[in-house]
Chain A
Amino acid sequence: MAILRRLFGSRQRQGVFALYEYLDDAIAVITKLRAQGDKFDVFTPTYYHELEAALGYEPSKVRWFTLTGALLGVTFGFGLCLLTDYDWPLVVGGKTAGIYSLPAYVVIGFEMMILLGAIATILGVLLLGKVPNPKGRIYSTQTTDSRFGIYVYGIDDKHATAKLLQERSVELEVFR
């Protein structure tokens, strides 16, 4: 049971969770938290670019997954056609075996590029975003609705940062 809890249970880390109704309120808090150097997570119902700007994210590394998948795909697609052609030449018009007609294989190469590129992109999103993360906790069910959540790690409600969080929040909860 203890092992199961360690593997799949929530990570019981102390912290304070605040819920905001307005995007600009959340952004104001995020800016201050970043300036203080606190460790925190932000929860949002959808991808507002203002949030990303406030958090100062670098371009996502998902693009490398896409590129790798697409290159593997195009190689596999052409490789599949060429190898079957090598294994059993389809001689057309009496031409010598061993002449490989690449244009006919463009479609297969293209389709495999898209297929593996798409699969790799999804894998990238899931891996980099840590989805699923059995240890990640859901602090509020309202952040998938319309509210913004900020969870600051390692503080309690006596901490000065908790006061900052509370200022414009609609709800404040302490987790231990």
Chain B
Amino acid sequence: MGMVEGWQRSVADVNNDILVNTRKPHPMFYVALAASLLCVVLGGVFWGIQITRGMGVAGLNSPVYWGVYITNFVFWVGIGHAGTLISAILFLFRARWRNSVNRSAEAMTIFAVMCAGMFPLIHVGRVWVAAYWMLPLPNTNNLWVNFRSPLIWDVFAISTYLTVSLLFWYMGMIPDLASLRDRMRGFKRLVYGVLSFGWRGTAQQWHHYETGYAFLAALATPLVLSVHSVVSWDFAMSIQPGWHTTIFPPYFVAGAILSGCAMVYTLLMPVRWMFRLQDYIRQEHLDALLKLTLLTSSIVFYAYAVEFFVAWYSGNVYEQEIFAKRLHGDYAFYFWVMVFCNCIFPLVFWFKRLRMHVPTAFVVCVLINVGMWFERYNIIVSSLVEDFLPGSWGHYQPSWTEMFITLGSFGWFFFWFLIFCRYFPIVSLSEIKLIMPKPMRSQSSARQAGGD
């Protein structure tokens, strides 16, 4: 891949170059932080209105009880998937390029899952009793939650996913926080010392650390595949036409990774430019990321096609009607946005010239994110508005409350990501050193590949 050669910097430069973010930030940082906080406040105000005035303001009513909120939930869980894919699955496959992007991708995962976790709470309305409905606590009639329901599986899957991703991310960061501690003085040194748990970097510590890291990767690998499968069962286990298909789990997982990879690229490009990380997050690492995006886009394209084929082949009139209406019904706009953004535009990534052309790749990645949001909206709304009985058909369009709360979730996501970019190592210091040429006296003149 040519990515072991051509390093412009050496291991001794890594900490100095990468930790620039912990010094005085660019004024644009404060502008971005203020903008994201404004979105959070707007979202919070509308959530407050929804809580005080009732769920009516959200515009959710029969037959569409799952609208924008569940779309956002699935969208944000999906975004989270690329982080764990990059940090865990690519670690097991020894894809060395992941060492430059894994830290920020994992951070993205955690903040995305934090956004996702908000939406079931927003959606249930009376958030203060949500614990009774979601956790295995017996109610006044001594009834337990129904462990045969995919919704309860989802509670377990999402909370496990958030916890394990957080542990994995934080464990990876402990040695880097110790690096930060060793560069700081006074109060900051104390804070980073506590955050790094007093990591000393002895060979013994690294020995256990490396084993533990590999085991966490091995545990997170089936987890990442299971989480979006479980999310898809929220739909597929019902009998709703358009939802009740066996292809849903792999289709959802591929879609999740597609949207996640696109989001990693969307976030990394400004970060890489702002903190001058071009020598570490290198063009060929981003190229590999875009190839992964292309691969998952092709899988999603195939899944869309299979859905239509199975609807036709099943001979089920309800199923056929739903898919025909997706093509040219009231909600066809959402369907075609989804097809163009997720299947057609990513085809430009077949060409190396276009993968290397940053503006093109950036625009396509943003469009993929738009497309993936529309995909979830399309699945949820077009299946719910028209089911078996024409008498119960309805119409749905997002209300202002839903749209502002959605805006708030984007603000919430970017707020945490900006905080991360300001105070934590954006690139994994200890792992990037592993893919750089080793500091060997015997090879110090002739730069050579690292790794074993």
Contact = CB atoms under 8 A, between A and B. Distances in A.
Interface of A: 21-25, 41-52, 55, 57, 59-63, 66, 70, 77, 80-81, 84-85, 87-88, 90, 92, 101, 104-105, 107-108, 110-112, 114-115, 117-119, 121-122, 124-126, 128-134, 136, 138, 141-146, 168
B208 interface: yes
Given A88-B144, A125-B208, A112 B160 contact: yes
Contacts of A117: 215, 219
A107 B153 contact: yes
A62 B215 contact: yes
B163 A141 contact: no
Contact of A62 (B211, B220, B230): B211
Interface residues of B, number: 67
Given A104-B148, A145-B179, A136 B198 contact: yes
Given A101-B148, A141-B183, A46 B206 contact: yes
Given A23-B440, A60-B207, A145-B15, A43 B212 contact: no
Nearest to A78: B147
B179 A121 contact: no
Given A46-B206, A60-B210, A107-B226, 13 more contacts: A42-B202, A44-B203, A47-B210, A62-B215, A111-B160, A111-B223, A115-B163, A121-B215, A122-B167, A122-B212, A124-B212, A142-B182, A145-B179
Nearest to B230: A107
Contacts of A130: 204-205
Contact of B144 (A77, A87, A92): A87
B167 A118 contact: yes
B153 A108 contact: yes
B439 A111 contact: no
Contact of A47 (B142, B157, B206, B226): B206
Nearest to B166: A118
A60 B208 contact: yes
Nearest to A85: B147
Interface of B: 10-12, 14-15, 136, 138, 142-148, 152-153, 156-157, 160, 163-164, 167-168, 171, 174-175, 178-179, 181-183, 197-212, 215-216, 219-220, 222-223, 226, 230, 429-431, 433-434, 438-442, 444, 452
16 contacts: A44-B202, A46-B430, A46-B434, A51-B203, A60-B208, A60-B211, A62-B208, A66-B212, A90-B148, A101-B148, A107-B153, A111-B160, A129-B207, A141-B182, A143-B201, A168-B441
Given A24-B441, A136-B198, A145-B179, A88 B142 contact: yes
Contacts of A46: 175, 206, 429-431, 433-434
A132 B198 contact: yes
B179 to A, nearest CB: 4
Contacts of A129: 202, 204-205, 207-209
Nearest to B170: A122
B200 A114 contact: no
Given A55-B203, A114-B219, A132 B211 contact: no
A25 B440 CA distance: 8
Contacts of B178: 144
A67 to B, nearest CB: 9
Contacts of A41: 202-204
Given A133-B200, A134-B198, A143-B201, A125 B157 contact: no
Contacts of A92: 148
Which of B146, B212, B222 is the most central at the interface, judged by chain A CB atoms within 10 Å of its CB? B212
B440 A45 contact: no
